[in-house]
Structure formats: C-alpha cells, structure tokens
Amino acid sequence: MEEAEHSRYVAQLKAEFDSCDTTATGFLDRDELTALCGKLQLDAHLPLLLDTLLGERTYSRHVKAAGEPAPQTGHIWAVIEMGGQVSSAEGVHVVVVGGGFGGIAAAQQLKSQRMDFTLIDMRDAFHHNVAALRASVQPGFAQRTFIPYAETFGESFVQGRVERVDTERQLVILQGGREIQYSHLILCTGDGRAVPREVQHGGVVSNSVQMYQDFVSQVQAADSVLVVGGGSTGVEMAAEIKTEYPEKTVVLVHSKIGLADSDLLPSVRQQAKQVLLEKGVQLLLGTWPAEHGHRVCDLSDLQLNVAHKNTQVTTDKGHTLTTDMIVCCTGLKVNATAYASSFNSCLADNGALKVNDYLQVEGFSNVYAVGDCADIKEPKMAYHAGLHAAVAVSNIANSLQGKALKAYCTGNVTMLLAMGRDDGVGQFNGLRLPRYLVTLGKSRDLLLWKSWREMNQQQP
C-alpha cells in the first residue's frame, strides 16, 4: 500500500475507533468493541474477537510476555491491537531518553500506536545535526536545523538532563531530582559530533542558533581554515567551507591515508578526495606506503573554533602550517552520562550500551538502546537510528502481546556525503551513486524536509 494511502487508512481506522471510545481512554469495553466491529463490518467475527480481545474481562486484555517486568501494584495493564496499532493503558509507560534521530522516530511510533510515553531531552528542540556543518558556514541557516519538541509531542515531552537511571525502581532521574517512572525504557542519547560542540550542552533554540551564528562569524573572519580529521564529518566540513567561501584557504589534515568513513566503498572514498581537490581544498594525508598521515601536535592546547590570525600548527611528521582558524572534527564520544552509572556492566569501551539482537540492553528485557549509543558494529548514522527505533518500539509492542521479538539486522551500507550544497558522493545499499543524485537527494537540503515532515511541522 502506498504510504499516503496507508496513512489515510490508519487515520480512518483511528477515527472509527475514537468514535466508539466513549470514555476517550483508548480502551473499549464489550459494548464499544461490538459497536466498532459493526462499523468495520466485522460482525461475523464478533464472538471470536470479543473472546480473543476481552475474554472474561470487561476491558481489553493485558498480555504479559515472558521476561517482561512485573506490573506496578494497582496498575491495570491492557493492550488492544487494531489495524496494526497498539494502545496501552496505565502501567505501560515508555520513557525515551534523548530526542535525536532515534528518539523522535521512537516517540512518533509510540504516539501513532497510542502508547503512553515521555520523551526527554535536555534541549527544547530536535537538532537536525546532519545539517550542522551547513549551519556552521551559511548565515541564517541554523534556525532551520532546530524543530521544537513541544509542538509535536505536547505534554509527552519533558525538557531536562537525565543524570541516571534507577533500574530497581524503574525510574529515570533528571537533574534537579525529578523522577519519571518507566515500564520500558529506550535510551538514545547519541554522541557529541556536531560542530560547534557547545550546542551539545543543551538549552533553548535561540542560544543554540546564536552559537552557530557566532561560529559562522568566526569562519568569515578567517582567511584560512584548518580542518583536523578526515573522517566523514571532516570531509563534509572542508567541502562546506570551501563551497561557501571559495576564496578562503582550506586545509584538511588527516591521520590516515583514506578519507571519509572506512565502511564506504573505496571508490566512494576516492571520489570524496577528488571532489575536495576539485574544489581547491588542500589535503595533508598519509601517502602510501606509510601507514599514517599527519597528526596535529598538542591539539588540546590549541584554541579551536575561533578565528585567531596566523596560528602555527605542527604535525607529528614535522610539517608546520599557519592558519587563522582550527576546526576539529575528530573523535566520537558517546553521550553516556545519562546511563553510565546504572548500566556500568553493559558498557562497551567507548561508553555505548551492549545490546542483544533485539536491541535490548544486555541483562534488561525492558531497556532498549537505539542509535549512536547502541554498541552495534555498523556506521553511526541517523538512518540506522531510525531503523533501531522501529525495532525497539515493535519489540515493546510484541512483548506486551506475547509475540516473538524482531531481530535487528544490519544491511549493506547506505551513506551519502554532502560535499557542499552543489556536490556529493555516496552509496546506496552498497552501490556507488552518481554525484548528481547525491547532490539532488542530500546535498541541496540535507534532508531537512524529512525531519520537519516527521515532526508534523512546517519548515520556516
């Protein structure tokens, strides 16, 4: 079924359901369910449906799967499945920590399945960090990269920094002491890759937008920029600066021979290098047969992300260069502060959470890890975070209904690199794409439209 047709069908079903739900609780009693079956012309199946869904009970039934946490005393657990949707009652409360790509995908799915949830993020708006680099060079762009949570999720959104999780009492504890109870927890706190990094520290949109604006001013004030790190972020950063400001000298220094993500096809990585050279970016890389490229010495002592005329930089290979601004695009650091103390035994070396095939955190059947903070051997991508979220939400629904859980399988790599707004390289499902297709599909708008649509809001 086409996506639009499917949405229309689901909306119609929901409208029929709501029209029978006289108490507006998301639960139907025997009479209401009978009325609904009549409207859906399911009268012939009514006895079986009543028996299956209600049994001897007054309201739709509770299904408790093996390994599920015990219901809280006094809570009614109830689930009814209708048209692929699952509505949950008191006692089933999913808490999603982190409203990045994984978190908003999970929250949207919980919302459309009418499951009770709370989405928590330290910011007041979703940050489309895929477009962070464009926002770092193009004046006025940053505003479009923040999408307010409250307009989409209403009271299901709580702004706050999660400091720890009490797994015994099933509580998420926020800075300031507020506690939020969960029956199921989805952790998706991501990693801190965006440039400028300060935006990771949370707060309100206007401050974050101002940080980007300040960064743009610093780039504008520099005649030359040194980008440190030639992974995908560094490659895209160098391309963005040179595209927006062709007159500036842009140097990319990298500690390896190959540019961009090592999961990409060699031909795609080679193409990325070619585009940078075509744009006039100077490359300081390793050359075969040497194993290593250049590492900037004493990076932590250098002032990053601010224009500082004629700063001297040396590399471990004795190369010296002079630049007006240093932008560091190295190292991923998983944001583990929300859960590190509580899930100490499930942490991989980088702070990511070890998960099983169903994305449940090792040893916890009601806790899922999604996105960059899940320890899965695949590139850290928004695309994957969305796929993880779908698996986690399905598995929560499946476990409530006693159905088999769904395993997450990593597919062939799909990755697109925006090389400025006018070029791009990448691959789809393991096959290299023509540059114009990547430009059309990603580089021009950086898929911002997709997130605005997912959040059901109008892009400014």
Provide the mask over 10-49, with x wherever binding to ligand FAD is found by CB under 6 A and - wherever it is not: ----------------------------------------
List C-alpha distances in Å: 216 to 195, 305, 394, 459: 11, 10, 41, 22
Four-point Cα dihedral 321, 326, 330, 331, nearest 10 = 120
Task: Note whether 231 binds ligand FAD by CB under 6 A.
Answer: no
Q: Which residue is nearest to ligand FAD (CB)?
A: 100
Residues 359-378 contacting ligand FAD, CB under 6 A: 371-373
Residue (33 or 359) nearer to ligand FAD, CB: 359
Provide the mask over 79-108, with x wherever binding to ligand FAD is found by CB under 6 A and - wherever it is not: ------------------xxxxxxx-----
Residue (27 or 101) nearer to ligand FAD, CB: 101
- H/E element, 242: helix 232-244
Residue (37 or 127) nearer to ligand FAD, CB: 127
Work out how close the CB of 383 gets to ligand FAD at its nearest, in angstroms, rounded to a whole number: 4
The alpha-helical segments, DSSP class H, found in 93-153 are 101-112, 132-137, 150-153
Work out how close the CB of 120 gets to ligand FAD at its nearest, in angstroms, rounded to a whole number: 5
Number of residues that bind ligand FAD (CB under 6 A): 38
Buried b (16+ CB within 10 A) or exposed e, 271-301: bbbebbeebebbbbbbeeeeeebbbbeeeee
Residues 371-410 contacting ligand FAD, CB under 6 A: 371-373, 380-383, 385
Residue (245 or 383) nearer to ligand FAD, CB: 383
What DSSP string runs through 329-356?
-----B--TTTTTTSGGGB-TTSPEEB-
- Would you say how long the chain is, in residues? 460
Residues β-bridged to residue 245: none
Q: Which residue's structure tokens are 């992974």?
A: 231
Residues 116-175 contacting ligand FAD, CB under 6 A: 120-123, 127, 129-130, 132-133, 161-162
CA distance 226 to 330: 13
Q: Which of 272, 316, 270 is nearest to 293 (CA)?
A: 316
Provide the mask over 251-290, with x wherever binding to ligand FAD is found by CB under 6 A and - wherever it is not: ----------------------------------------
Q: Which of 235, 160, 224, 150 is nearest to 195 (CA)?
A: 235
Q: Is residue 458 classed as helix, strand or coil in its secondary structure?
A: coil
Provide the mask over 176-215, with x wherever binding to ligand FAD is found by CB under 6 A and - wherever it is not: ------------xxx--xx-------x-------------
Residue (382 or 405) nearer to ligand FAD, CB: 382
- H/E element, 221: helix 205-221
User: Which listed range, 114-122, 146-154, 294-302, 340-348, lies at the site for ligand FAD (CB under 6 A)?
Assistant: 114-122
Which is it for the CA torsion 387, 390, 396, 401, positive or negative?
A: negative
* Interface positions with ligand FAD (CB under 6 A): 97-103, 120-123, 127, 129-130, 132-133, 161-162, 188-190, 193-194, 202, 233, 236, 335, 337-338, 371-373, 380-383, 385, 416
